[in-house]
């Protein structure tokens, strides 16, 4: 199914990265409920970036269906799987750069993200199974800390004294705080749960600031354990109030809980938190009962909350940032995931803008927001149309992707031979089009990564059914 994409004339879209599609055991793309191929991305992936004094820093995920170097089974066929590699894309003074990989190309990478810090250093976190890996990008060599922390959902922050705060919802839906400093790891339970989601940001000294949401297992409100309701398998129907909660944690000592939204009736799992010593704690969240996005600010004795969305709807992937001069920016996606919004506050006045939309649902898979050094808003999204990672800004950014369209050889009606990769190429993407006069009609067919100096060609079978198409191979280089 084709996607018709609309972007507000006030916003410019800059593609950052591509990925392949999730494949079945038979090698065919896995489709979602709308008939669109699912992109190949790590479990728990959310787009994440920061814009600080070093410029724009984006966490990039590269995908391959083969390890590096390639491996082969006993009968000579290549070993296939889902292999991911993390790296950092940076924009500074108008020049893009791609760092050396943070990780090797490997299986099992989950929930990759940039870590909240109290300074401008860059730290990347990801899980493999029950191990959390935290990489800080410093010269001459990155430093890595690996901790044994199981999780369903997790968030990481580094405080002003370089202490690591890890908030993890474990398989029993309990929320635990892990504090790592001076090679010691201590654990503190914050909630018996069930907990849906958690987000943490760095604080001053040895503290961090945490927002999390609880929910009831009694989905149909009948007071009995029905099939699928006992999520933590404790034999008890946990009828925990559905609440959005704030706490701070100083080293290992949590503050008293503060209710930001009490008894929401429906599970609340989309929110973000901001903290600075000068401007306090701020939260943005999707209210599933009021069908609205709300902004809450912590006052001296209570939280004050305002609605920032103008059209009723179920909203997801809420992200928040603050700039002392520009104000607050919140980005969010509607429940059908085909509309991307940003709400901005300046001088107490809120305005909402539709940045982009498509004609089918389930398109935007996540979003993040940040202010640049001039106080201008940037929105990072994960999408399913050719490029999974895009930045939206009001002023156009320099092009990141270096591409070259290469001719291809069609050996028969169904077999395409890929060209030998050019020097410096890191990826080749096979595209098809039914209309050469429309430059936007090219669609993703397949891709392969290029490792080192490769002279290998490859053949792909196409057009087994349906109308004839034109084909090309696009190359990318770092």
pLDDT for residue 403 is more than 80: no
Do residues 286 and 309 lie in contact, with contact meaning Cβ atoms separated by under 8 Å?
Answer: no
Let me know: does 460 contact 415? Beta carbons within 8 Å. Answer: yes
Question: Does the pLDDT at position 228 exceed 60?
Answer: yes
Rounded to whole angstroms, how far apart are CA atoms 295 and 285? 7
pLDDT for 7 equals 47
Whether residue 462 is predicted with pLDDT greater than 80 in this model: the reply is no
* Tokens linked to 258: 């503060």
DSSP 363: -
pLDDT confidence of 4, banded at 50, 70, 90?
very low
Rg, Å, the chain Cα set: 23
DSSP string, 263-291: --SS----EEEEEETTTEEEEEEEETTTT
Rounded distance, CA 230 to CA 129, Å? Answer: 23
For residue 474, the Cα-to-chain-centroid distance in whole angstroms is 25
pLDDT band with cut points at 50, 70 and 90 for residue 455? low
More confident residue, 319 or 421: 319
pLDDT in tens, 126-185: 999 999 999 998 766 788 999 999 888 899 999 999 999 999 999 999 999 999 999 999
The string of DSSP letters for 142-211 reads: -EEEEEE---SEEEEEE-TTS-EEEEEE-TTS-EEEEEEETTEEEEEEEE-S-EEEEEEEE-STTEEEEE
Query: Confidence band (pLDDT; 50, 70, 90) for 433?
Result: confident
Which carries the bigger pLDDT value, residue 441 or residue 109? 109
The closest of 101, 39, 25 to 386, measured between CA atoms, is 39
pLDDT of 119 strictly over 90: no
Say how many C-beta atoms besides its own lie within 10 A of residue 312's C-beta.
Answer: 10
Predicted confidence (pLDDT) per residue in 329-369, tens digit: 999 998 766 889 999 998 888 999 999 887 666 678 889 99
Please check the confidence at residue 3 and state whether its pLDDT lies above 50.
no
Instruction: Determine contact, residues 322/303, Cβ cutoff 8 Å.
Output: no
pTM of the model: 0.80
Per-residue pLDDT of 240-258, as tens digits, reads 888 999 999 999 999 999 9
Q: Enter the tokens of residue 160.
A: 């002003």
186 has pLDDT over 60: yes
Pick 5-401's CATH classification: 3.40.640.10, 3.20.20.80, 2.120.10.70, 3.40.470.10.
2.120.10.70
Rounded to an integer, the average pLDDT of 316-321 is 93
Structure tokens at 289: 């009962």
Average predicted confidence (pLDDT) for the chain: 84
**Residue ranges per structural domain of the chain:** 5-401, 403-477
| Structure tokens belonging to residue 216 | 């009831």
Q: Which tens digit of pLDDT belongs to each residue from 263-290?
A: 777 888 999 999 998 899 999 999 988 8
């Amino acid at each position: 199914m084709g996607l018709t994409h609309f972007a507000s004339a006030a916003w410019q879209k800059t593609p950052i990265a591509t990925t392949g599609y999730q494949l079945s055991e038979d090698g065919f793309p896995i489709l979602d409920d709308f008939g669109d191929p699912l992109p190949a991305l790590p479990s728990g992936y959310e787009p994440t970036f920061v814009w600080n004094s070093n410029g724009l820093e984006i966490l990039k995920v590269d995908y391959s269906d083969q390890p590096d170097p390639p491996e082969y089974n006993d009968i000579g066929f290549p070993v296939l799987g889902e292999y991911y590699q993390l790296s950092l894309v940076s924009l500074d003074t108008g020049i893009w750069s791609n760092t050396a990989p943070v990780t090797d190309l490997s299986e099992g990478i989950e929930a990759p993200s940039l870590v909240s810090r109290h300074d401008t250093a860059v730290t990347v976190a990801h899980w493999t199974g029950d191990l959390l890996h935290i990489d800080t990008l410093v010269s001459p060599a990155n430093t890595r800390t690996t901790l044994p922390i199981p999780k369903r959902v997790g968030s990481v922050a580094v405080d002003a004294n370089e202490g690591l705060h890890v908030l993890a919802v474990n398989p029993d839906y309990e929320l635990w705080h892990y504090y790592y400093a001076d090679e010691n790891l201590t654990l503190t339970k914050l909630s018996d749960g069930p907990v849906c989601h958690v987000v943490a940001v760095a604080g001053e000294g040895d503290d961090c600031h945490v927002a999390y949401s609880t929910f009831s297992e009694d989905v149909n409100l009948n007071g009995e354990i029905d099939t699928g309701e006992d999520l933590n398998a404790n034999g008890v129907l946990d009828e925990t109030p559905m609440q959005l909660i704030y706490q701070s944690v100083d080293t290992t000592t949590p503050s008293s809980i503060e209710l930001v939204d009490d008894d929401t009736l429906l599970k609340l799992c989309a929110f973000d938190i901001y903290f600075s010593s000068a401007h306090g704690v701020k939260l943005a969240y999707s209210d599933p009962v009021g069908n609205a996005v709300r902004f809450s600010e912590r006052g001296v004795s209570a939280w004050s909350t305002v609605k920032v969305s103008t059209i009723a709807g179920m909203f997801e992937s809420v992200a928040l940032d603050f700039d002392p001069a520009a104000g607050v920016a919140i980005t969010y996606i509607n429940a059908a995931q085909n509309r991307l919004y940003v709400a901005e506050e300046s001088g107490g006045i809120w305005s909402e803008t539709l940045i982009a939309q498509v004609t089918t649902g389930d398109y935007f898979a996540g979003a993040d927001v940040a202010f640049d050094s001039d106080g201008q808003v940037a929105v990072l999204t994960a999408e399913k149309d050719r490029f999974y990672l895009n930045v939206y800004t009001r002023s156009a950014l320099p092009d990141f992707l270096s591409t070259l369209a290469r001719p291809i050889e069609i050996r028969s009606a169904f077999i395409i031979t890929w060209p030998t990769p050019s020097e410096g190429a890191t990826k080749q993407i096979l595209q098809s089009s039914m209309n050469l006069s429309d430059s936007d009609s090219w669609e993703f067919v397949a891709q392969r990564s290029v490792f080192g100096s490769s002279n290998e060609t490859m053949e792909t079978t196409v057009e087994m059914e349906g109308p004839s198409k034109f084909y090309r191979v696009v190359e990318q280089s770092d």
